[in-house]
């Protein structure tokens, strides 16, 4: 059983400047979400980071909330928390795959995200993984986000964009009024 295995854990990330995390949680299974949040908060505090928690309706909305926060706020990193338990339909596969894919795409754009969305077969598996005194997947997700923040700070400021960026000429043309009539 996975609960009895031991795994190597990186030493806790350290910072010279304060770190601000956004913990985005889908509390569909409230008790499990609360345990994940407790683990994430404890890890953030142990690293000297501050945090804010926001709730979204479900796991599919977590990447969207993180994307909005990245554009409109000033967080250094993000922690995605939730729980998806297999049901009787293929909806489980869709939610697992698409929420994970959304987070990965944001990560590839340079966002520092720890993925703590549990994908399990049953509630018992979720309880074991969420328990802050057990597998502490919420704390692990926060630690992952913090390690990525530390790497981003180590490597310095962005030198070039990732992904599609409109050219400055296109921005200027779009923002100006042009006379399309001929003399």
Q: Which residues are catalytic?
A: 91
- According to DSSP, residue 58 is labeled S
Is the Cα dihedral 126, 130, 134, 138 positive or negative?
Answer: positive
Note whether 49 and 114 are within 8 A (CB). no
- CA distance linking residue 171 with residue 157, whole number of Å: 23
Q: Cβ atoms within 10 A of the Cβ of 31, count?
A: 13
- CA distance linking residue 110 with residue 78, whole number of Å: 12
3-state secondary structure of 81: strand
């Amino acid at each position: 059983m996975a609960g009895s295995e031991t795994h190597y854990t990186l030493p806790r990330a350290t910072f010279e400047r304060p770190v601000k995390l956004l913990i985005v949680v889908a509390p569909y299974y409230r008790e499990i979400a609360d345990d994940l949040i407790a683990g994430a908060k404890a890890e953030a505090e142990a690293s000297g980071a501050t945090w804010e928690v926001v709730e979204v309706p479900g796991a599919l909305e977590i990447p969207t909330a993180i994307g909005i926060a990245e554009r409109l706020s000033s967080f250094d990193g993000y922690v995605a928390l939730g729980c998806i338990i297999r049901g009787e339909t293929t909806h489980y596969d869709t939610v697992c795959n698409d929420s994970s894919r959304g987070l990965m795409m944001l990560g590839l754009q340079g966002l520092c995200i720890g993925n703590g969305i549990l994908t399990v077969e049953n509630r018992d598996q979720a309880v074991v993984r969420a328990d802050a005194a057990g597998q502490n997947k919420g704390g692990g997700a926060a630690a992952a986000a913090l390690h990525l923040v530390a790497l981003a700070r180590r490597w310095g400021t962005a030198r070039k964009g990732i992904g599609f960026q409109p050219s400055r000429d296109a921005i200027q043309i779009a923002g100006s009024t042009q006379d399309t009539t001929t003399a």
